[in-house]
A and B are shown apart, each in its own frame.
Chain A
Amino acid sequence: MDNEILRLEGLSKHFPGVKALDNISFDLIEGEIHALIGENGAGKSTLIKVLTGAYQKTDGKIFYRGTEVKNLSPTKSKNLGISAIYQELTLFPELTVSQNIFMGNERVYNKSNLVNDKEMTDEVRKIFKKIKLNISPDTLIKNLSIAQQQMIEIARAISLDADILIMDEPTSSISNKETEILFEIIEDLKNQGVTIIYISHRLEEIFEIANRVTVLRNGKNIKTLEINEIKDKDQLVNLMVGKEVTDLFPKKEVEIGETILEVKNLSYQDKFKNISFNLKKGEILGVGGLVGSQRTEVMETLFGLRKFDDGEIILKGNSVKISNAQNAIDFGLGLISEDRKATGIIKTMSVKENITLPGLDLIDRKFNVLIDNKAEEIATKSLVERLQVKTPSLKQKIDKLSGGNQQKAIIARWILLAPEILIMDEPTRGIDVGAKSEIYELMGELAKKGISIIMISSENPELLAMSDRIMVMREGEISGFLEGEKQTEENILKLAFGGVVN
Chain B
Amino acid sequence: MNQLENKISFQDRIKSFFGEKGSAALGLIILFVFMTFMSDRFLTFSNLLNVARQASINGIIAVGMTYIIITKGIDLSAGALVALTGTVAAGLIVNMGLPIIVAIILTLVVGSLVGAFTGVMVSKQNIPPFIVTLALMTILRGLSFVYTSGRPIYVSNELFRVIGRGYIGPIPIPVIIAIFIGVIGHIVLKKTKFGRHIYSVGGNEEAARLCGVNIDKTLIYVYTSAGFLTAISGIILASRLSTGSPNAGDGAELDAIAAVILGGTSFAGGIGSVSGTFIGVAIIGILGNGLNLLNVSSYNQMMVKGLVILLAVLVNNIKLKKKNISR
Residues on A facing B (Cβ under 8 Å): 15-16, 303, 305, 324-326, 328-329, 335, 337, 342-349, 353, 356-358, 360-361, 369-371, 392-393, 395-396, 413
Contact = CB atoms under 8 A, between A and B. Distances in A.
A300 to B, nearest CB: 9
Interface of B is mostly: helix
Contacts of A303: 210
B193 A371 contact: yes
Nearest to A373: B191
Nearest to B12: A395
Contacts of A324: 212, 214
A353 B196 contact: yes
B212 A325 contact: yes
B12 A396 contact: yes
Contacts of A358: 211-213
A325 B210 contact: yes
B207 A346 contact: yes
Contact of B12 (A15, A344, A393, A413): A393
A343 B202 CA distance: 13
Interface of B: 4-5, 8-9, 12, 187, 191-193, 196, 199-200, 202-204, 206-214, 266, 269-271, 326-327
A245 to B, nearest CB: 25
A353 B266 CA distance: 18
A278 to B, nearest CB: 24
A371 B192 contact: yes
20 contacts: A324-B212, A324-B214, A325-B209, A325-B213, A326-B212, A329-B212, A342-B207, A343-B207, A343-B210, A347-B204, A348-B203, A348-B269, A348-B271, A353-B199, A357-B213, A358-B211, A371-B191, A392-B8, A393-B5, A393-B12
Contacts of B327: 15
B125 to A, nearest CB: 18
A239 to B, nearest CB: 28
List the 8 shortest-distance A-B pairs measured between CB atoms, nearest first: A348-B270, A348-B203, A358-B211, A346-B203, A326-B212, A346-B204, A392-B8, A370-B191
Given A326-B214, A329-B212, A349-B270, A360 B207 contact: no
B270 A393 contact: no
B206 A392 contact: no
Contacts of A335: 210
Contact of B202 (A348, A370, A396): A348
A343 B269 CA distance: 16
A371 B197 CA distance: 13
A267 B202 CA distance: 33
A345 B206 CA distance: 10
A393 B4 CA distance: 8
Contacts of B203: 346-349
A369 B326 contact: no
A343 B204 contact: yes
B199 A349 contact: yes
A357 B187 contact: no
B204 A392 contact: no
A349 B211 contact: no
A15 B326 contact: yes
B13 to A, nearest CB: 8
Contact of B204 (A305, A345, A361): A345
Given A348-B199, A349-B199, A392 B4 contact: yes
Contacts of A347: 203-204, 270
B200 A346 contact: yes
A329 B211 CA distance: 8
B211 A370 contact: no
Given A348-B270, A357-B196, A393-B12, 13 more contacts: A303-B210, A305-B209, A324-B214, A337-B207, A343-B204, A344-B210, A348-B204, A349-B200, A349-B203, A349-B270, A358-B212, A392-B4, A393-B8
Contacts of B204: 342-343, 345-348
B326 A325 contact: no
Nearest to A325: B212
A182 B191 CA distance: 50
A346 B271 CA distance: 11
A326 B8 CA distance: 35
User: Which of A335, A343, A356, A361 has the most C-beta atoms of chain B within 10 angstroms of its own C-beta?
Assistant: A343
B200 A357 contact: yes
Contacts of A329: 212
A337 B199 CA distance: 20
Contacts of A305: 209-210
A392 B5 contact: yes
A369 B212 CA distance: 18
Nearest to A350: B12
A432 to B, nearest CB: 19
A359 to B, nearest CB: 9
Contact of A343 (B5, B206, B213): B206
Nearest to A353: B196
Nearest to B202: A348
A343 B204 CA distance: 7
Given A349-B270, A357-B200, A392-B4, A325 B192 contact: no
